[in-house]
Amino acid sequence: MANFIVADDESIASRIRSVLSFHEPNAPKADVLPSALAVGRLAREGGAGVVVVALPADPAAALDLLARVAPAAGGRLLALGPTSDARFVLQALRAGVRDYLDKGDLEVELAAALKRLAEPKDAASLGRVVAVLGASGGAGASTIAANLAVALATDHRSAGLVDLKLETGDLAALLDLKPTFSLSDLCRNAATFDRVMLERTLARHESGVALLAAPARIADVTLVRAEGVARAIDLARAAFPYVIVDVDHTYREEQLAALRQADVLLLPLRQDFNSLRNAHRALEHLGRMGLAGERARLVVNRAGQAVEVPRAKVEEALGMKVAHSIPEDPRAVARANDNGVPVVLEAPASRAGRSLLQLARSLETSRPGDAPAERRGARAGWRPWRRVAAGRGAH
């Protein structure tokens, strides 16, 4: 199929045609269409290869042009314009643009977009989704999620990070990021947003982490729906080798959508009675829904405090082994969190930093089923922490 360029500026059209000719040497020479005639010509063609639109300077005119061209472009519409107005870029993507390109770097941006269009979709190359679910507050789940994402991004050049703590999300602060958009912006168009819209919504960290932030306003939380979360994670795992999701313990439908897609489910807890009780309740609930199984791993956080339930008692109460323990290291972790620099970057040689790096490496080397977990504690009505509680004062 023929490629088309929609442009009223001949010099811009010539530059676009040169890039298309270089990257698709066997394709017919791209036709240049004035914006006033583009819709009619594309409709008569009945199909097109790539359609590149050089947007007019007026935002209203640009969006009107995209809305008219998109239905005839067959899902391969590329828009070329300024990127200084992030909200305009998002509006353009919502109008049906496959990719939005920076006019100031035309050749590089268009070449990269053409490469993305040509990439085959290989299910085997999808990234792994790691859900981090603290059974109750104070387990340090968000700190663990942020550090795992940074550690994995450092090793793999990129990693996705999704903040599903919709009302209280801390991941942006933990990474010292100020996102322009959030998950709620994507979910406004849950049925139509694509990978390009996702990428434009992400906040980028220097480590290579790309954060899909929680809504900035409580009022926008209601916009986040299960189908939008599922689609965002699907697209993220196609873009990143690892996607870390910080899941809330509300077990609402949008949270369950993430848990259903997880390849690994990390369950952080502390070695105290309340955390142990809540972890048991969480495992019992997840087990009833078929969301635990062999992919679930216990991660003890802040281990080694003076008064705590012994590890053997934790394992007995929950009916599964502790997969990893992160030692108590309040000075290093608190300083890192306060500075908005994850401890694996701020203090990688600290006890917590080394342990979190080891946990990240374990996600790279293991697969679900490597260490089958025993589920003696999943029986309905069994309350093993009562025995733990009876002896906890001695520890």
pLDDT at 144: 98
> Residue 390 pLDDT > 60, yes or no?
no
Q: Tell me the percentage of the chain whose pLDDT exceeds 90.
A: 57
pLDDT digits (tens, 9 = 90+) for 271-313: 999 999 999 999 999 988 888 888 899 999 999 988 899 999 9
For residues 303 and 275, the answer to whether their CB atoms sit within 8 Å is no
pLDDT at 375: 35
List every span in the chain annotated with CATH 3.40.50.300: 124-394
Express each pLDDT in 148-203 by its tens digit: 999 999 999 999 999 999 999 999 999 999 999 999 998 887 656 788 889 989 99
Span(s) in the chain for CATH 3.40.50.2300? 4-118
d(CA 363, CA 152): 9
Share of the chain above pLDDT 70, in %: 88
CATH of 4-118, one of 2.60.40.1940, 2.60.120.20, 3.40.50.2300, 3.40.1280.10: 3.40.50.2300
Lowest-pLDDT range of 204-213, 282-291, 336-345: 282-291
pLDDT digits (tens, 9 = 90+) for 352-385: 999 999 999 999 865 544 443 333 333 333 344 4
pTM of the model: 0.69
Q: Residues 311, 325: contact at Cβ < 8 Å?
A: yes
Alpha-carbon span 53 to 73, nearest angstrom: 10
The predicted structure's pLDDT at residue 120: 56
Q: Please report how the helices 253-261 and 226-239 are oriented relative to each other, as an axis angle in degrees rounded to 10.
A: 30
Compute the Cα dihedral for 313, 317, 319, 322 and give only its sign.
negative
Pick from 127, 163, 154: which is nearest to 356 by CA? Answer: 154
At the fourth CATH level, which superfamily is domain 124-394? P-loop containing nucleotide triphosphate hydrolases (3.40.50.300)
Q: Could you write out the three-class secondary structure of 296-320?
A: EEEEEEEECCCCCCCHHHHHHHHCC
Q: Taking each helix axis as running N to C, give the angle between helix 351-365 and helix 330-339, from 0 to 180 degrees, rounded to the nearest 10.
A: 80
What pLDDT does 372 receive? 36
- 213-248 tens-digit pLDDT: 999 999 999 999 888 898 899 899 999 999 999 999
